[in-house]
Amino acid sequence: MIEIDMIIPIWKCNKRDLIPAFITFLSCLFVGVEMGILIGTILDLAILIYLNARPTINIEHRNISTTDYFLVRPTAGILFPAVDYLRMYLTKNSGMNVVLDCEHIDKIDFTAVQGLNMTINDFRKNNCQLIMLRPNPDILSSIQSLSDKQILTARNEIDLIAILGKPKRVTLNDMVISDTNGRASTWL
């Protein structure tokens, strides 16, 4: 019933997986098998919900010529448990523009859409912008369905630069584009 030889591979792979296993084992010894399995299952579900409620979010401060902004990159979909956590990150620096990189957002639910729309409205009240970078068309239509105003989106970095304001100098690979009194000059 107990596979002792599995402890070392689990330890090497993911130490966190041993916590529910040991608690389940100890609970089975002290309160009975049925209650022990129930305790272990509840603990494992709690860990799973916690991990979904606290996705990894990378934040970078960036500057494009005249505009400072924060680039926020969630690494997973935005579902009910994670929306408040993401909203906290987005509004932490509400005095600046925030770009939400949606490249890795593949799932969104109704509660998350409501939370994002409230966040967008908060940014508008503070005269700031929340721009969605590379949104999935299905996710964008879900968010737009509950919004009474147009949502700012950028398909790529060039669109983002256009939304945030015309920079005086932009470097793309080896090409430099600069604005000289209304005339664009290009050097290769």
CATH number of residue 86's parent domain: 3.30.750.24
- The verdict on residue 157 lying in a domain is yes
Q: Which pair of tokens denotes residue 25?
A: 């084992």
Q: Is residue 183 part of a domain?
A: no
Output phi, psi for 128, to 5 deg: -125, 170
Structural domain includes residue 10? yes
Same-domain status, 85 and 135: yes
SS (HEC) of 59-88: EEEEEECCEEEEEEEECCCECHHHHHHHHH
Residue with tokens 């792979």: 13
Short-list 136, 133, 125, 51, CA closest to 85: 51
Q: Judge if 39 and 62 occupy the same domain.
A: no
How many domains does the structure of the chain reveal? 2
Tokens of 135: 């949104």
Hey, what's the torsion of the CAs at 100, 102, 105, 108, to 10 degrees? Answer: 70
Q: How many CA atoms lie within 13 A of 165 on its CB side?
A: 12
Asked whether residue 186 is domain-assigned, the answer is: no
The two beta strands, 183-187 and 175-180, are antiparallel
pLDDT value for 137: 92
Predicted local confidence at residue 93, as pLDDT: 66
In a domain, 181, yes or no: no
CB 169 within 8 A of CB 137: no
Secondary structure percentages of the chain, helix, strand, coil, to 5: 50, 25, 25
Q: Which residues of the chain have pLDDT under 50?
A: 167-188
Whether 70 is in a domain gets the answer yes
Are residues 147 and 66 part of one domain?
A: yes
Q: What is the pLDDT of residue 147?
A: 85
Helical segments of 6-156, H only: 7-13, 18-31, 33-53, 83-91, 110-125, 137-145
Examine the fold and report which residue of 23, 38, 53 is the final residue of a domain before the chain moves on: 53
What separation in angstroms does the CA of 8 have from each of 1, 14, 25, 26, 154? 17, 10, 16, 18, 47
Tens of pLDDT along 73-91? 988 888 888 888 888 888 8
What integer pLDDT is reported at residue 166 of this predicted model? 52
Q: Supply φ then ψ for residue 181, to 5 degrees.
A: 55, 50
Domain membership of residue 103 as a residue range: 57-176
* Residue 23 sits in the same domain as residue 49: yes
Same-domain pairing of 95 and 156:
yes
Q: Which helix (H) or strand (E) holds 174?
A: none
Residue 131's closest CA among 62, 31, 41, 39?
Answer: 62
Q: Tell me, what's the pLDDT at 186? A: 36
Q: Do residues 108 and 158 share a domain? A: yes
* pLDDT for 179: 40
Q: Are residues 115 and 83 part of one domain?
A: yes
Kindly state whether residues 43 and 69 are assigned to the same domain.
no
